[in-house]
Amino acid sequence: MTNLPPFLRLGLLVALLGALTVLATGMGSSHMPPGRVAAALLGYGARMDEVIVWTLRLPRVALAILAGMALALSGALLQRVTRNPIAAPSILGITDGAAVGAVGFLWAFSDDANLLVVSIHWQPLAAITGAFAFAGLVTILAFLDPGGRGPLRVILYGVALAALAKAAVTLLMIVGPVYRAGQALTWLTGSIAAAHWSDVFVVAAGLAISAVLLLVARSTIRQLVLDTDSAAATGVPVGRAQVALLALAVGLTALAVSQVGAIGFVGLVAPHVARLFHGAFAGGYLAATALIGGVIVLAADTVARMIAAPLELPAGALTALLGAPLFLWLLLKGRRTHG
C-alpha cells in the first residue's frame, strides 16, 4: 500500500469511509439497499427514505465518524508529543477524566426534580475541564516522579488515575440524577446510540478548528519526530509546541467523549494502522489517522448494532476488544527490543 502516492492512499480511505457510510445508513429496522441510501443522501430519493436517512440514521453515522476522527487525531498527537507509541487518550486517563466532567456536570447542575438548571450545551465544556484536570494531574505526577520520566511511567500514572476517574463516575452517577444513571454504560464504555445533529455539529466544529491549527503548525509537528535537541535546533520552540499539541489532543478527546462517552482504544489503534497503511512520515499522516479513526468507530458502531439485533452493544466494548490485543502486542514488543 505504501508504494501508492499519498493522495491516492487518502483517496482510498475516503472511498472506504464513504462506502461504509452508505452501508451503515442502510442498516436498521427497515433495511435500505445502498442505491436508495445513495439517492436519499444526494437528495433525489423517495421522501420517506430521505426522512429516515437524514433525521434518523445519518446523525448517528456522522457522529461515529467525527468522534472516531477526534479520538484518532488525539491519539496521534499524544504519541508524537510524548514520543511514546503506546500513549492514547484512554490509556492516559484523559477519556475517563472527560467522563468525570460530563457526569459531574449533570450532578452539579441538576435541581431537586432532576432537571438541568443550565443548558445541556455546556456539557462539552465540563467534559473538557475534567479531561484537562486529569491530564494535568497525570502530567504533574509524571513530572514530579523521583525516578525520572520513562515512557511507561506516564502510562502507569494514567492507568492509576483512570481507575480513580471510573470510581468518581460511578459515585457521581449514584448521587446524581437517578434517571440518568441508566446511561451508565454510555459514560463508562461509550455508545453512539442517541445522536442528534446538534451533537454532530459540536464535534464537527471542534475538528474543523483543530484541522486549521494542525495545518498551520504542520511543519512544527513534523519536526517533533526528531529528538528534543534536534527539534530545537531547527528553530521549533519545543516546550511550547508540546504543551499546545497536548492541549489540543486533550480538547479533541474531551469533545468526543462528551458526545459519545468513553470509547477507548481508538486513539491507540488508529495511529498505528495509519503508520502501517500510510507511513508515519508521509504527508497527510494525520489526515490518514483521522480517516482510519472514523472508519474504526463507524465499523464498531455498525457491528455493535448488527451483532445482537435488535439489541445494541456499546461501540466502546468492541473497540476495547480490538484495541486491547494491539496494546499488549505493542507493549511486549517494545519490551523485547529495548530489553
* Contacting residues toward other proteins, per CB under 8 A: 86, 141, 144-148, 150, 152-153, 155-157, 159-161, 163-164, 166-168, 170-171, 174-175, 185, 189, 264, 307-308, 311-314, 316-318, 320-321, 324-325, 327-328, 331-332, 335-336, 338-339
Nearer to other proteins (CB atom), residue 141 or residue 273: 141
Please state the closest distance from residue 137 (CB atom) to other proteins, in A.
10
Task: Please give the C-alpha separations between residue 173 and each of 177, 179, 195, 263, in angstroms, as whole numbers.
Answer: 7, 10, 21, 18
Please state the closest distance from residue 318 (CB atom) to other proteins, in A.
8
Q: How far apart are CA 180 and CA 229, in angstroms?
A: 50
Q: How far apart are CA 189 and CA 317, in angstroms?
A: 6
Decide: 262 and 101 in contact? Cβ < 8 Å: no
Quick one: cell of 253? 478527546
**b/e 112-127 (16+ beta carbons within 10 angstroms → b):** eeeeeeeeeeebbebb
Nearer to other proteins (CB atom), residue 50 or residue 312: 312
3-state secondary structure of 177: coil
Which amino acid would we find at residue 46? A
Please state the closest distance from residue 227 (CB atom) to other proteins, in A.
19
Please state the closest distance from residue 164 (CB atom) to other proteins, in A.
4
Q: How far apart are CA 126 and CA 207, in angstroms?
A: 18
Nearer to other proteins (CB atom), residue 155 or residue 248: 155
Please state the closest distance from residue 158 (CB atom) to other proteins, in A.
10
Nearer to other proteins (CB atom), residue 89 or residue 206: 89
Please state the closest distance from residue 313 (CB atom) to other proteins, in A.
5
Nearer to other proteins (CB atom), residue 235 or residue 339: 339
Nearer to other proteins (CB atom), residue 113 or residue 175: 175
Nearer to other proteins (CB atom), residue 261 or residue 316: 316
Decide: 321 and 296 in contact? Cβ < 8 Å: no
Please state the closest distance from residue 47 (CB atom) to other proteins, in A.
35
Residues paired with residue 116 on neighbouring β-strands, in sequence order: 110
Helices and strands (H, E) in the chain, number of each type: 15, 0
Q: Which of 89, 253, 115, 114 has its CA nearest to residue 178? A: 114
